[in-house]
Every structure is written in C-alpha cells, then in structure tokens.
Structure 1
Amino acid sequence: MTDIELKIREYLSDLTSAEQRAAKYLSSNFESALKMSVDDLAYNSKVSKATWIRFSKSLGYEGIKDLKKAMITNLQNAVNESQAKNESEFPELKNNNTIKNVVARITENSITAIRDTALLVDEQVVENAAKEIAKARSIRIFGVAASGVVAKDLAQKLTRIGKCVVYFEDFHENLLSTSCIQADDVAVFISCSGRTKEIVELLHIVKQRGAKIVAITKFGKNDLTEIADFKLIMSSPENEKRIGATSSRMAQLIVVDILYSTILKNDVQNVTKHLNDSYVISRHFKDLTN
C-alpha cells in the first residue's frame, strides 16, 4: 500500500461525501488515474473538478499536480522496494531475457520515464531557469558518470547558441573552476539521486559563491532540491542498484531539451544567428572531410 492510499484510509471519515467518492475512485484506479487530466478524473468519478482539488488539499497537497507528483514517487518507491527484496540479483541479467523482452522492457521504461517527467514539469520554474541562464555571465555545468553524459549534451547545446559555457569531466578541474564563479553566473547541477558525493561537494561551494543554481534531479528530498534555486524535476522507474543508467538518462535528456527549447523560444533572433553560424562552420568542415 502506498503512502497516499494510507492517507486516504486514515482521513476517509473526515472527508466530505463528494471527496470520499474521489478517494474511493483514486484507490481503485491509482495507476490509470495518474495519466488522466483533472477533467477526465471528474468525468470518470462523477465528482466535480473543484472536489478533486479540495480532496488533494485535504490529503495535504497543494493541488492535483502536487498529488500526481506524490503518486509517481509512491509508485517508484513501491517498485524499488519490490526489487530491493532480491537486491543480489539484477533482473535485467536473467537468462530468460530474450531480445524481444529486452526491447520491450527498455522501450516501456523509457516511455514511462518520459511520460512521468512530463507530468512533473513545472512550466514556471522552467521559464524562470531559462531566463536566468540567458542573462548569465557564464553557465557552469556539473555532472558525473552517466549524468556527465547529459551535462556534456547541455554544454554542447548552449555553446552552439553563443553562451559562455564551462564544463569539465574531471572532478578536480571542476573543483578549481568553482573559485572563478561569481554571483552573476548560473550553475547547472545534474544528478538523478541528488546525493552524489562529488556533486554535493561542488554544490555547497557554488552556493557560498552566490551563483544561481539550477538542478536537474528526481522528485523528492535530496541535497539538490534542498539548495537549488530552480528545481527541474525528472522521473525514473529504475532501481538504485542497476546495470547502468537507462531510463534515468532519458528523463534527464528530456528535461535538458525542454530547458534548451525554452531558452531558444525566448530569444529567437539572436539564437537563429548563432545556429546558422554554427551550421555554416560545421557544414564547411564536413565538406572538407568528404
């Protein structure tokens, strides 16, 4: 039983009759309800949208969106707890995994990560983070291991549109670079767990330097969500003990693309010039090597 279902059972008698109908519908349709809009929830449960909002607040959430964020976390925790019972084994390595099963599992996990991340996107936070990056003196990007691959992708994208970007793969180089960070810089930290030792160490230094901090991390309480000024939340159905980052990397890349596209839409004239210039240069090089 998830935390939300426990809350429903605990608070049920204190809810209005209409809220109780919403509660019973949610309990019976937990996973499918996650994919529904508030209009769909109201129609299918035969209670009003206002009732669903009141019901969400009665459970301690700010509204439907906040409730859905908690639902995603609840479902992920349930999966992780189930996998943890057999933590000595990696389910991906079972001998009965045919290529067909591998394709289906990877596809489903990636789709789930993308869909759930889309539900967690806070449009205003993305907009504010994009504006902060656009006006920054420089953008410092931090990510290690699999998150480093995503950090490098963001660095390449921002460089292409003329931003002053600093990104290092080596921790010691990152450590040295923090000494140059100023209050008019923006630091982007990418970490699925939000608790990676190297990232947390750099995070505290950057915070002391006064730069604005953008975090790309999973939903929940961690060092990044506690400290960052702008929290871009991603979802991942992966267990902590895994064969490698797969769906979590996909979710991070989706957030990067959303952030990058928002920066582009806010400054079309300037970014178009930079994009055209980068295309001409790269096209010329390709022509020379053909």
Structure 2
Amino acid sequence: MEIDIIREIKKISLNNKHRFYFIAKYIIDHITEIPKITITDLAKVTFSSPSTINRFTKSLDLSGYKELVHIIKYFNYTLVDSDKLAKQDSESNILYQRYHDVLNSIQDTFNLFVAQEDLATQVVSKLRNAKRINIFAVGGTYNLARDFQEKLLRMGFNAVSSNNFHDGYFLVKQTNKDTVNMFISYSGETKDLIKLASICKENNSQVVTISKKSNNTLGRLADFKLEISSNDPIVRIVSLTNRLALIFCLDMILYKLLFTDFEHYKDLLQKTALNKF
C-alpha cells in the first residue's frame, strides 16, 4: 500500500548508514516537489545516478521511478485533502474524512486482491469442490458471513454460517479434508475463531482466513490467507471502513466463483430470486 512505501522511505531516511540514505532523505524533505522532477534531476540533487535511483525503487518492490512518483502523488493528494478538511467545521470534517477513509480502504483492498489473485483463484477452486463450506465470524462481522452464506446457497453450495462458539465447535468437530472453513475477522485475533481454526487444522480440514494485512494468529493457521486493507483510523468509534473492505473482498470471491461457470450460476441465481410480494 502507498502509506507503507512512504513509511519505508522515512525509515531509510533516518538511518544515515543505509546505502540509499541520501535519496530517501531528499524525498522525505522535498516530498511535494518529487512528482515535478525527473529521475535525472533526482539523481543530480542526491549525487547519485538514474540507475541508483532505479535500484532504490526496486528495493521498495516497485517497478521503477514512475511508480514511485505515482505513490508520492497519491500521498501528497491525501495530505492536501486532510489539510483542507482540518479547516472545516467538525461535522463536515468527520463526514469527509470517513468518505476518504472508505475510498482509500477499498482501493487498498482492491490492490491487495489483485496481488493475491492466484491465491483467490485457489480459494475459489476449493469452494467449488467442497462438500460443505463453513463460515465463521462474530459480532457485527457475522452479518457479512451470513450474507455470504446466503449467496452461496443461492448458487447451489452446501454452506453454513456460525457466530456462536458452541455451534461452531459442533461444526468443526465434523470437518474433514472435503470441508472448507472460512474465518472472517478483521483483526485476525478473535479468540473463539482461533480455537475453532485450530481444531480444523487437527482434523486436516482446509482453513481460509480473511483479515487485515498483518502477521496475525488466524492467518498463521490458514492454508489460504486473504488480506484486506489495514487502512483504518487509529480511533475506531464505528467499524465502517473495515466492514466495507471485508464486503468488497467477499464480493470479489463471489464474482470469481460466478465466472467459473457463468451460465450455470446465472440460471441458479435467477431461479432462486425472491418474487416481489
């Protein structure tokens, strides 16, 4: 994600022994000017060369200087936007800030999903071949799990959802290699879900997790770990951006599933559409 790249550059700029120290420090000190200068210009002011700049971008897992400029433009836009919002009254500030939080979260989750597309394809293949799909979540996130389950049911899958540890325990004790168990938790640290996922592993049953991009406990138990944006505000009064990121990720899985046999699933969805009363 963009902010992670900026953080890494900042980290390098604070280490005067790092081989890219001068480049990183110049970028951080002149971050609003970088999109206006060429790679040759940056090489001159940092007493390096274009090839060294390219090596610096490669060390950040970027394709080159153009991608670095794109990330800095995005970062600068966010900064300017935040400055404007700070000048507005508190209610408007909150509304607009939440709006941009949501946009950034969806964009970051989309980027992550594209980066994990091969993994998502494997998950879809496992879902298609599963004899049963168990979906676990707790709290408000369970509403997303329930919605996902209902869509799978409409597409002809044997899917069950649970937000209760005892019911979940009964389900996971009956799992086997033909069962796919999906655990949805933004933090990846929900204790009851960790216990249930551990039992699945004991039964050699497949575990799919969807959680924020972090080294979390649920993810370490997963056979397939899908990640969403962790671009949530420091103070979360209402869990909005993370829920929307989870919905977006689940919908992307459904779309990939739908297009594995579009005509078949389209026919099932039409047959199971509720009539208007």
Q: 1:38 maps to what in 2?
A: none
Give the direction of change, closer, same or farther, for the CA distance of 1:273–1:57 in structure 2 (3 Å limit): same
The one-letter amino acid paired with 1:5 is: K
Q: 1:222 maps to what in 2?
A: 216
1:209 corresponds to which of 185, 203, 221: 203
Query: Contact (CA 8 Å) 1:187, 1:213: kept in 2 or not?
Result: yes
Displacement after TM superposition at 1:136 (Å): 0.9
Length-normalised TM-score, structure 2: 0.74
Higher relative contact order at CA 8 Å, sep ≥6: structure 1 or structure 2? Answer: 1
2:257 is the alignment partner of 1:259: no
2:101 is the alignment partner of 1:103: no
Q: Distance in 1 between matches of 2:52 and 2:248?
A: 32
Q: 2:151 maps to what in 1?
A: 157
Q: Distance in 2 between matches of 1:151 and 1:244?
A: 19
Length-normalised TM-score, structure 1: 0.71
| Unmatched runs of 5 consecutive residues or more in structure 2 | 1-5, 44-48, 76-88
Displacement after TM superposition at 1:189 (Å): 0.7
Displacement after TM superposition at 1:103 (Å): 2.6
Q: Distance in 2 between matches of 1:196 and 1:152?
A: 18
Q: Distance in 1 between matches of 2:62 and 2:99?
A: 28
Q: 1:238 maps to what in 2?
A: 232
Q: Distance in 2 between matches of 1:43 and 1:116?
A: 30
Q: 2:56 maps to what in 1?
A: 55
Q: Distance in 2 between matches of 1:8 and 1:138?
A: 51
Q: How does 1:1-290 map to 2 (within 5 A)?
A: 2-10=7-15, 13-15=18-20, 21=23, 24-25=26-27, 28-29=30-31, 52=54, 54-55=55-56, 58=59, 63-64=61-62, 97-98=90-91, 100-121=92-113, 122-239=116-233, 242-279=236-273, 282-283=274-275, 286=276, 289=277
Q: Distance in 1 between matches of 2:134 and 2:23?
A: 49
Q: 1:84 maps to what in 2?
A: none
Q: Distance in 2 between matches of 1:55 and 1:211?
A: 43
Query: Contact (CA 8 Å) 2:13, 2:28: kept in 1 or not?
Result: no
Cα RMSD of the aligned pairs, angstroms, is 3.5
Q: Distance in 2 between matches of 1:11 and 1:126?
A: 41
Q: Distance in 1 between matches of 2:41 and 2:164?
A: 53
Give the direction of change, closer, same or farther, for the CA distance of 1:237–1:173 in structure 2 (3 Å limit): same
SS of the residue 1:187 aligns to: strand
SS of the residue 1:140 aligns to: strand
Q: Distance in 2 between matches of 1:111 and 1:245?
A: 15
Q: Distance in 1 between matches of 2:270 and 2:156?
A: 11
SS of the residue 1:180 aligns to: coil
The one-letter amino acid paired with 2:121 is: E
Q: Which deviates more, 234-243 or 157-166? A: 234-243
Give the direction of change, closer, same or farther, for the CA distance of 1:161–1:227 in structure 2 (3 Å limit): same
SS of the residue 2:140 aligns to: helix
Count of aligned pairs between the two proteins: 242
SS of the residue 1:205 aligns to: helix
SS of the residue 1:139 aligns to: strand
| Unmatched runs of 5 consecutive residues or more in structure 1 | 34-40, 76-95
Q: Distance in 2 between matches of 1:180 and 1:256?
A: 25
Give the direction of change, closer, same or farther, for the CA distance of 1:14–1:149 in structure 2 (3 Å limit): same
Q: Distance in 1 between matches of 2:157 and 2:200?
A: 19
Q: Distance in 2 between matches of 1:167 and 1:234?
A: 21
Is the helix fraction higher in 1 or 2?
1
Deviations 1:126-157 (A, max 9, x none): 11111111111111101111221221121111
Q: Distance in 2 between matches of 1:44 and 1:150?
A: 50
The one-letter amino acid paired with 2:11 is: L
Q: Distance in 2 between matches of 1:154 and 1:163?
A: 11
SS of the residue 2:173 aligns to: helix
Q: Which deviates more, 183-192 or 168-177? A: 168-177
Q: Distance in 2 between matches of 1:230 and 1:178?
A: 17
